[in-house]
Structure 1
Amino acid sequence: MSNNEVMKKLRVALSLTTDDIMAICKLVNFNVTKSELGDIFRKEDHPNFKKCGDQILRNFLNGLVIYKRGPKEEK
């Protein structure tokens, strides 16, 4: 399963919009544009398709943890 497929499946499963995904990435100080996300969610045969890199997926997943659980509490 590719990173693009993981992003698509999480987007659908969690009912996230592009703006939601951008906000989630900002939680970990990672900026991603709407056009980059649009290119990631396109079909592979589309001319503007872009492979989702590990960095984008990693930052999205880290931001998703904060989005769902809240920030890590300091001891």
Structure 2
Amino acid sequence: DESQPLRPVEKRITNNLVLKKLRVAFQLKDVDMHEIFQQAGFPVSKPELSALFRQPDHKNYRACGDQLLRNFLKGLTLRVRGA
């Protein structure tokens, strides 16, 4: 939207940013992401998942850890390549 001010460029790539970019690249909805985590054997609740995509200064923001991202990539691989 051109009427909105430009967002500042991220200087450091975080796990949250990687997760967000993967969600956009694969056009994943919340339901799809829950299925991916489920396939990896790492269930994530809805509030926990939404906290990962909040702005870092939000009070309910949660940093995405390495284990969470690793399990998401594992589940995504199973989904794309098959079992």
Q: Same fold (TM over 0.5)?
A: yes
Q: How many residues align?
A: 71
Alpha-carbon separation, structure 2, partners of 1:31 and 1:9? 20
Per the TM alignment, residue 18 of structure 1 is displaced from its structure 2 partner at its CA by 1.0
1:21-36 alignment, distance < 5 Å? 21-36=33-48
Are 2:49 and 1:43 equivalent residues in the alignment?
Answer: no
Q: Deviations over 1:14-68 (max 9, x none)?
A: 1101110110011121110110110000000111000001111000000000000
Match of 1:19 among 18, 31, 34: 31
Higher helix share: 1
Structure 2 unaligned spans of 5+ = 1-12
4+ residue runs over 2 A deviation:
none
Q: Which has the larger radius of gyration?
A: 2
Q: What is aligned with 2:71? A: 59
CA RMSD, aligned part only? 0.6
TM-score (norm 1): 0.91
Structure 1 unaligned spans of 5+ = none
Q: What is aligned with 1:69? A: 81
Give the percent of matched residue pairs that are identical in Structure 1 and Structure 2.
Answer: 49
TM-score (norm 2): 0.83
